[in-house]
Structure 1
Amino acid sequence: MGIFERYLSLWVALCILFGIVAGISVPGLFESMAAFEFANVNLVVAVLIWAMIFPMMTAIDVTSLKAAGRQPKGLILTLVVNWLIKPFTMFGLGYLFFHGFFAGWVDTADANQYIAGMILLGVAPCTAMVFVWSQLTKGDPAYTLLQVSVNDIILVFAFAPIAGFLLGITDLSVPWNTLLLSVLLYVVIPLIAGVLVRRHLLRKKEGEQRLLSFQTAVKPVATIGLCLTVILLFGFQAEAIISNPLVILLIAIPLTIQTYLIFGIGYAGAYFLRLPHRISAPACLIGTSNFFELAVAVAISVFGLTSGAALATVVGVLVEVPIMLSLVYMANKMAPVFDRRAR
């Protein structure tokens, strides 16, 4: 591992601090970048996420997707966790904390808003960043793509009914432009680009070596993209973090518990199913991470830009990266255990 990968947690921590300081010091710069969006998808962040995803896409051999499809256990695991468990545990934890533990600190109206934001996060499994987490755990790229693709198909049909049921809203409107644009930017375009680059390099003399050299050369780009994304996300929300530290903390507590809980449930299932690390790690991380662009867009469109629901989805974005890095570390530590059991 290079110095970037070896000390990634340190770089992310420094980026969080730098993002907050920069957001307070030069708010106009971040406001300008925040305004550069289309269909509630920030195009600056989209470019950085694309930079993180593209290196992994060059590792995908599309012919191996058929082989991945013949190993259904990992796919079944992530679907069960994402759609039958995660939305309901998120609702339960939100209700427990904001109508129970935090009832004396938050009024009922605000509590309901925060729970609504948590629900929207819970019903939106990750589409983009999971490719980064999979790469950091050396997950099977073809299998990760298969899992993300199937989840995206289900998302189209299941997001509105589940979210509407838990929110008590019968006519929940899904921002299809945000959903489709996100899938296009974060899955389709980088996949096509990665496949084309892979085929081009493999056609040349010593193609395998050329491909490996290319992947090694672009690997730091993914890490730099992650660090810049963290700076932007925390810079965008620096004022909210400074002005509402207690509210941010209160929302972050159940979200943090939910993240570790879902990962634990998924990992226990993967262990029981005897899944190897290359499949179990991405399968669990997909459900643990969130499709935050969709959650934020729905929260804004349904409840308003300044609503507690929108704030809760933003807090989900802020806590995700540091927590996911800790889960990547845990998954890598447990890799030998899972691989021995899968034999």
Structure 2
Amino acid sequence: MTSLPPVPSRPARLGTADRFLPVWILAAMGLGLFLAVAAPGLGEALHAFSIGSISVPIAIGLLVMMYPVLAKVRYSDARAVAGDKRLLVSSLVLNWVVGPALMFALAWIFLPDLPEYRTGLIIIGLARCIAMVLIWNDLACGDREAAAFLVALNSVFQVIAFAALGWFYLQILPAWLGLSTTSAEFSFWAITASVLVFLGIPLLAGYLSRRIGEATRGRDWYESRFLPKVGPFALYGLLFTIVMLFTLQGQQVIDRPWDVARIALPLLVYFLVIFLVGFVVGKLIGMSYERTATLAFTAAGNNFELAIAVAIGTFGATSGQALAGIVGPLIEVPALVALVYVALWLRRKLFHSPTPPASAPTPVGVAERV
């Protein structure tokens, strides 16, 4: 691989796997649906392979996916992110004020007659992303250090605020507006376990990898020799996670296609609107493209594992709320892949900054951006 001197963290060329990332994602979705139909017993077996509210197959995929991205973060540089009050305040407002409020509004606008699906969407809006957002941010050439810091910050807020916001959006606010209310109990353990497993483990592994690697062999060896070897596993983990999701939930999607379409429409609107709001905010407050992209993707992503666990634990595995939680990631993955391309287009149009030669004309690949 030829290095690019001005930006050593980006490759000079893309591999086949990265150039055709949307194709591989669609293939993984198709494979998952095929397995769900052809081997229904496999889905049941995977469902049973859980520890508490954590699906072990999905956990394995997410951990494999996140470790290479977090191993690439220069943690010494991430400390500077804490001093960027514009980024921190705008991220907290978008994630914990605008995002949940937008999903609440869309749920009531699109699903006024379907309270179970509506509740499921509201729960998705409360579960802020702590996993896949790192992949989308990396593909869009966002600020890797800022993304890691914001994900950690949102994780703390998730543990503190999730249950309170759930109570507010399902009971207090609907009562104020004269709408029907929903009673729900949120497991503090489910929320904490989600944060610890899907962020804590890979974050600790990535941090220790960089500290130990740089201390023993130096930064040049770590970034030019070690990272290229572990980088492809982010793509493998992403595709494995998608296959597992569609294998686990594909039968429900096939059995209730109209319901899935009703749930998908407000989700698509949500991802697009909150993403564009993030870009507009970043541009207006004068942030660079890299941090603006990070702001937009951390606002648009959701912690689907937590949303599904809460919906199933509170309302049951066959409930409409659980189906809404299941549809969430099935729509989010292709939607945010598409938004990666939108981000790179906005980079040229709004920031007058051409995509680096290493990534043109397609997004920088998750397997090779090291």
Q: TM-score, normalised by structure 1?
A: 0.91
Question: Paired residue for 1:115?
Answer: 118
Question: Paired residue for 2:36?
Answer: 23
Deviations 1:160-218 (A, max 9, x none): 22211221169743222222222222222212211222223223455413432221122
Question: Paired residue for 1:275?
Answer: 287
Question: Paired residue for 1:331?
Answer: 343
Question: Paired residue for 2:16?
Answer: 3
**Alignment partner of 1:142 is 2:145:** yes
Distance 2:235 2:201 in 1: 20
Letter in 2 for 1:88: A
Please tell me the root mean square deviation across aligned C-alpha atoms, in Å.
1.8
Question: Paired residue for 2:238?
Answer: 226
Q: Tell me the matched-pair count.
A: 331
Distance 2:160 2:215 in 1: 40
**Alignment partner of 1:61 is 2:74:** yes
**2:317 counterpart (305, 321, 341):** 305
**Alignment partner of 1:126 is 2:129:** yes
**1:208 counterpart (198, 216, 220):** 220
SS of the counterpart of 1:126? coil
How far off its partner does 1:84 sit?
Answer: 1.3
**Alignment partner of 1:48 is 2:58:** no
**Is contact 2:170–2:183 with CA below 8 Å preserved after alignment?**
no
Distance 2:268 2:164 in 1: 25
Question: Paired residue for 2:109?
Answer: 96
Unaligned runs of 5+ in 2: 1-13, 172-180, 354-370
SS of the counterpart of 2:128? coil
Q: TM-score, normalised by structure 2?
A: 0.85
**Alignment partner of 1:265 is 2:277:** yes
Question: Paired residue for 2:157?
Answer: 154
Letter in 1 for 2:93: V
Letter in 2 for 1:130: V
Question: Paired residue for 2:189?
Answer: 177
Question: Paired residue for 1:104?
Answer: none
Q: 1:7 to 1:172 in 2, by over 3 A?
A: same
Distance 1:296 1:210 in 2: 37
Identity of aligned pairs, percent?
32
Letter in 1 for 2:46: M
Question: Paired residue for 2:304?
Answer: 292
Structure 1 or 2: larger helix share?
1
Distance 2:294 2:350 in 1: 13
Q: 1:31 to 1:55 in 2, by over 3 A?
A: same
**1:164 counterpart (167, 176, 182):** 167
How far off its partner does 1:231 sit?
Answer: 1.0
Question: Paired residue for 2:94?
Answer: 81
Question: Paired residue for 2:229?
Answer: 217
